[in-house]
Amino acid sequence: MNFGLFFLNFQPENTSSETVLDNMINTVSLVDKDYKNFTTALVNEHHFSKNGIVGAPMTAASFLLGLTERLHIGSLNQVITTHHPVRIAEEASLLDQMSDSRFILGLSDCVNDFEMDFFKRQRDSQQLQFEACYDIINEAITTNYCQANNDFYNFPRISINPHCLSKENMKQYILASSVGVVEWAAKKALPLTYRWSDSLEDKEILYKRYLDVAAKHNIDVSNVEHQFPLLVNLNHDRDVAHQEATAYLASYIAEVYPHLNQQQKIAELISQHAIGTDNDYYESTLNALERTGSKNVLLSFESMKNHDDVVKVINMVNEKIQKNLPSS
């Protein structure tokens, strides 16, 4: 089991963007220096609202990579359907070289119809566009060259500079954004990153579909390690943890799930994430990891208002990881 961080970078009411970004920077710096049992940090992409103020996660990752020495850092969900794949490949290859292969490339299809329209992409061919983009990016990273002749891109063989050092060893993850994407990822044995806002039941359905498709196509996925993002807000007072998480999530849930009962959706998330007291999360988290085949756990402490409490929880988690490590 591997542990890391992820950052949604919501900007709550009466909070500046500088404060939000500084919280991410300070947490990553702290963990990189003092908490060796955390190995990764990933940044979320979101556009056009304060429910995620980083629209360029690879840019944020480049800053964090330059700030750190140990952590592997990258994008949680770099959207490729609405970006030119060659540009993403160039940035990924550059970050791979400059970070001494510490960059992680987490990719995603677009999950927002407005963004598809805004960036002038066709919704009716979205899955095909996503797959075409990925093929270009993967060819560029693994061979240092790429070319395309399909319905979406047409260009001759070009060199991606600087060349990617890691090539096929660059860590790639695919956001489990739809059944179609999950089925496609299974055929390539690509690891998933589950959407933090999906219910556990939906995550489990996607995992089972992944396994079914892999088996149908004789793809060995026994060593594939999926990622499970977990919101964390622990407090000796359960009500405080619930209130802070509710306040943090409310605007995002209203934006992304406007047709659902908002209170019920938030209550579902609170019950399925590590939100409450120290005694509320352990067994349920283990159950969630097992039901989704997850070997990597990504933690977000962003809903916790008190920085000292965040440090205490990080320290507690780090000690639990250390205690469960196999003795040498």
Domain boundaries, the chain: 1-322
Alpha carbon distance 276, 240 (integer Å): 8
Q: Which CATH architecture has domain 1-322?
A: Alpha-Beta Barrel (3.20)
- Rounded to the nearest 10 degrees, the angle between the axes of helix 17-34 and helix 57-67 is 40
Q: Please name the residue that has the structure tokens 């060199």.
A: 159
Taking a C-beta distance cutoff of 8 angstroms, is the pair 23, 302 a contact?
Answer: yes
Range scoring the smallest mean pLDDT among 31-35, 103-107, 282-286: 282-286
10 Å CB burial of residue 326 (0-12, 13-18, 19+) is exposed
pLDDT in tens, 278-298: 888 889 999 999 999 999 999
170: closest CA among 141, 144, 143? 141
Q: Which tokens go with 191?
A: 């690891």
User: Model pTM greater than 0.85?
Assistant: yes
* Residues 38-63, mean pLDDT to the nearest whole number: 98
10 Å CB burial of residue 186 (0-12, 13-18, 19+) is buried
- Rounded to the nearest 10 degrees, the angle between the axes of helix 85-98 and helix 57-67 is 10
User: pLDDT at residue 327 above 80?
Assistant: no
Q: Which tokens go with 207?
A: 């995992």
